Amino acid sequence: MSSVHDLNQPVVLDLGSGLTKGGYAGTPDPSVVIGTLTGHAKLQRVLPSATAAPDMPGTPDGSRGKYGEATSSGGSVFVGEQLRNMCGVLRLEHAMQRGMVTDWSGAEEIWRHVSTDLLSVAHGEHPFLVTENALNARWNRERMGEFFFESLNAPSLCVAVPGVLSLYASGRTSGLVVDVGDTLTTTMAVADGHVDVHAMRRSEVGGRDVTERLGTLLQKSGVSLMGTSSEREAVRRVKERLCYIAEDAREEERRFIDEGVGGGKLGASFRLPDGNVLQVGTERFRAGEIVFRPHLMGAEVDGVAQSVHSCTQAVDMHLRRALYGSVLLSGGSTLLRGFCTRLLREVRALAPSNCKIRIHAPTDRLYSAFTGGSVLACLSTTFRSMAVSRSEYFEHGAGVLHHKCL
């Protein structure tokens, strides 16, 4: 049974391991994007004007401050904008890993902050469409449902796979989606709106691993930047600004050698927050190499091109040609420069020679899952048929979330 609140504008949240993106249905881009991170004070507060630290309990009712500072757990947990403002005095922790929540109180605080504080969603009045990565353990979705129905009082909830939403955003109903996010690479084949679950490939490699590897490579060059969480964040920014995927890693090594010490014009520099200038050489392309060759970080999983190939080979042979001709990139880590060219080259080498390979790389692919969710949630009849209503949830339990949603 639907409630009057089901008619209100749905709220769309793309709950990524790295970034939480949110906004109201109907907007093409998320109006809120924050890291899926929590900050914990690592220094002791000595001035009364300073923001509350763990030794000084916050508001007596356990409510949140201006920046999503939660005090319900006794100590202060910071989320959102405050992480940037208090950079250096907070220890940052990820609330999600490999698409699954690893710190529930942290994740819930982030989701609450986005919905209530930043999007001003009135309690219990707006349906939610949220994303969950494919092939997650069932309990992850059930616990998510508990939060949205029982803490946020959602009148209805729809859970969708981000890759499928990215396909919607591109205006297609068929294609092979390659989603490389912060901690996961997912490859899925969709034909006329039907996902082939058996052909889906998921590997635990993503942008966070690229950042880690960049940090390790820089350390080998004598620059230690992975000691604190704010240093790690600086390494992430270096990655986003300077790293790229080489078309051929061996050839790229040779080019750097030819250029001499520091890689000559192939090297680049980055000004760190302390004013020091960091020189980056071969690390620029070596770090991202793990997305194509995960064995470099010790992972026994296929690289992204091999995943595309094996996903295609796992679907019916009548559909394969069309899929090779309609590969869609999604997720922030596909923004590494050169990603598309390298993928094309490797997939071409693996695919049957008479297959035409076409890769679509929309410029807004960091947010395409949100955009697709925003479009879907505006189709009120479709959305309502896919969403689980509050009454269904309380009547049948959290298991109902596995039956109705994408």
Ligand X SMILES: Nc1ncnc2c1ncn2[C@@H]1O[C@H](COP(=O)(O)OP(=O)(O)OP(=O)(O)O)[C@@H](O)[C@H]1O
Residues interacting with Mg ion, by CB under 5 A?
A: 16, 162, 181
Q: Which stretch binds ligand X (CB under 6 A): 14-22, 65-73, 303-311, 372-380?
A: 14-22
Task: Give the DSSP letter of residue 115.
Answer: I
252 closest CA partner among 359, 342, 333: 342
The one among 54, 207, 215, 294 contacting ligand X by CB under 6 A: 207
Any contact of residue 182 with ligand X (CB under 6 A)? yes
List, in order, residues 6 or more apart from 395 with CB less than 8 Å away. Answer: none
In DSSP notation, 19-72 reads EEEEEETT-SS-SEEEESEEEEE-S---STTSPP-TTS---TT----TT--B-T
Nearest distance in Å: CB 131, Mg ion: 7
Report the SS3 class of residue 137: coil
Residue 243 phi, psi (nearest 5):
-80, 155
Instruction: Mark 33-72 with x for binding to ligand X (rule: CB under 6 A) and - for no binding.
Output: ----------------------------------------
Any contact of residue 215 with ligand X (CB under 6 A)? no
Residue with tokens 């007596």: 60
Nearest distance in Å: CB 224, ligand X: 20
Query: Residue type at 345?
Result: R
169 closest CA partner among 148, 183, 155, 190: 190
Nearest distance in Å: CB 354, Mg ion: 34
30 closest CA partner among 122, 126, 114: 114
Nearest distance in Å: CB 131, ligand X: 8
The one among 240, 247, 253, 259 contacting ligand X by CB under 6 A: 240
CA distance 323 to 194: 13
Residue with tokens 């616990």: 143
Any contact of residue 141 with ligand X (CB under 6 A)? no
Work out what residue 240 binds among Mg ion, ligand X, none; the CB cut-off runs from 5 to 8 Å by kind: ligand X
Q: Which stretch binds ligand X (CB under 6 A): 116-124, 170-178, 327-335, 371-379?
A: 327-335
Nearest distance in Å: CB 368, ligand X: 9
Instruction: Let me know: does 117 contact 127? Beta carbons within 8 Å.
Output: no
Any contact of residue 366 with ligand X (CB under 6 A)? yes
Any contact of residue 99 with ligand X (CB under 6 A)? yes
Q: Which stretch binds ligand X (CB under 6 A): 11-19, 66-74, 269-277, 303-311?
A: 11-19
In DSSP notation, 207-274 reads HHHHHHHHHHHHHHTT----SSHHHHHHHHHHHHHH-B--SSHHHHHHHHHHH-GGGGGG-EEEE-TT
- The residue with its CB nearest to Mg ion is 181
Any contact of residue 166 with ligand X (CB under 6 A)? no
Report the SS3 class of residue 184: coil
Any contact of residue 206 with ligand X (CB under 6 A)? yes
The one among 58, 127, 175, 332 contacting ligand X by CB under 6 A: 332
Q: Which residues bind ligand X (CB under 6 A)?
A: 16-19, 99, 133, 181-184, 206-208, 236, 239-240, 331-333, 335-336, 366
